[in-house]
Amino acid sequence: MSLSRVLAQALFPRYCACCQCPIAHAALCTPCLEALPLFFPEEGNLLLRADIQSQFSLPDCDGLIACGWYHGVLKRWLCDLKLRQRRHAAALLRQVIAYQWQHYCTEQVPDVDAAIIIPLPWPRLINRGFNQVMQTWGSVLNDQLPILPVLSKRMTPTQQTLDRRARLYNQRQAFTLASALTGRRILLVDDVITTGATINAAAQLCRRAGATQIWACATCLTPA
Ligand SMILES: [Zn+2]
């Protein structure tokens, strides 16, 4: 271990965010990471699960992968990052995402050759200062898949206030795609999928642009 790292650890000791045991590099210790209630990548495509297929409307997606349900610590860390700009929450989520992504890759799921991160509308991006999806998934995927900056999003009324039908209408007109995706196998990445309306609207656009496979991917799925 380098002298600078030894000094850094002595001056700024790190502790696991869950059990508070001292750790060297990460945000969570391995036992706490392994104990998180994540989906099992061995299950493969989550759309093959009856409970998930009945809850999320993703007719333009060939598959779905995710880390876990939107509750407990995953919900807390996502809120800490998105609403309170806590950098530590980004480190925690990146560690969870890297762990889960690696397991999905071991299972050879999903079959994709490029990723598209669901963008924020410009006013929201300027206001928040960062896209929380890029901040968490960006560095994890960056080494393995090209991230295509081809999707943009207009400002629409906030999704939380709308019912399912209004969400679908709201999202249908929201996205613009800047280039053809002929023959591409795309991973569409968002932080939370609540009904599927947002990510499916983007998937529909990718399909029309020539993508042959589209997988939805999220940090969390909102439970029913
Ligand atoms: Zn721990």
C-alpha of residue 48 to centroid of ligand 1, in Å: 32
Contact 169, 157 (CB under 8 A): no
Name the pLDDT band for 88 (thresholds 50, 70, 90). very high
Q: Is 143 helix (H, G, I), strand (E, B) or coil?
A: coil
Please tell me whether residues 48 and 143 are part of one structural domain: yes
How far does the centroid of ligand 1 lie from the alpha carbon of residue 36, in Å? Answer: 10
Structure-block tokens of residue 102: 């690696």
Tell how far CA 84 is from the center of its chain.
18
Share of the chain above pLDDT 70, in %: 95
pLDDT tens-digit readout, 91-104: 999 999 999 999 99
17 and 119 in a single domain? The answer is no
The mean predicted confidence, pLDDT, of the chain is 92
Helices 164-172 and 197-208 sit at what angle, rounded to 10 degrees? Answer: 30
| 32 CA from centroid of ligand 1 (Å) | 4
Do 119 and 185 fall within a single domain? yes
Q: How far apart are CA 32 and CA 194, in angstroms?
A: 26
Q: How far is the CA of 94 from the centre of ligand 1 (A)?
A: 16
Per the omega criterion (within 30 degrees of 0), is the bond before 223 cis?
no
pLDDT tens-place string over residues 30-61: 999 999 999 999 999 999 999 999 999 999 99
Q: Tell me what pLDDT residue 193 has.
A: 97
Measure the CA–CA gap between 171 and 197, rounded to whole angstroms: 7
**Domain containing 61: what range?**
37-221
What contacts 69, CB < 8 A, 6 or more positions away?
Answer: 37, 220, 221, 222, 223
CATH number of the domain encompassing residue 143: 3.40.50
CA 62/CA 71 separation, integer angstroms: 25
Same domain, 153 and 44: yes
Task: For residue range 149-198, list pLDDT tens digits in order.
Answer: 999 999 877 766 777 777 777 777 789 999 999 999 999 999 999 999 99
Domain co-membership, 25 together with 104: no
What is the Å distance from ligand 1's center to 99 Cα?
15
State yes or no: pLDDT of 142 exceeds 70. yes
Give residue 9's pLDDT: 65
Ligand 1 centroid–CA 34 distance in Å is 10
Examine the pLDDT at 77 and tell me if it is beyond 80: yes
Residues 179 and 207 in one domain: yes
Rounded to 5°, the CA angle 206-139-190 comes to 40
Looking at the structure, tell me whether residues 15 and 115 fall in a common domain: no
Tally the domains of the chain. 2
Residue 5 has pLDDT above 70, yes or no: no
Q: Are 41 and 14 within one domain?
A: no
Q: Residues 9, 52: one domain?
A: no
CA of 149 to the centre of ligand 1 (A): 36
Do 23 and 74 have their domain in common? no
Report the alpha-carbon distance of residue 176 to residue 179 in Å, rounded: 9
pTM of the model: 0.90
Contacts of 205 (CB under 8 A, 6+ apart): 151, 175, 176, 177
- pLDDT (0 to 100) of residue 1: 60
121 and 26 in a common domain: no
Do residues 61 and 79 lie in contact, with contact meaning Cβ atoms separated by under 8 Å? no
Q: How far is the CA of 30 from the centre of ligand 1 (A)?
A: 7
110 and 215 belong to one structural domain: yes
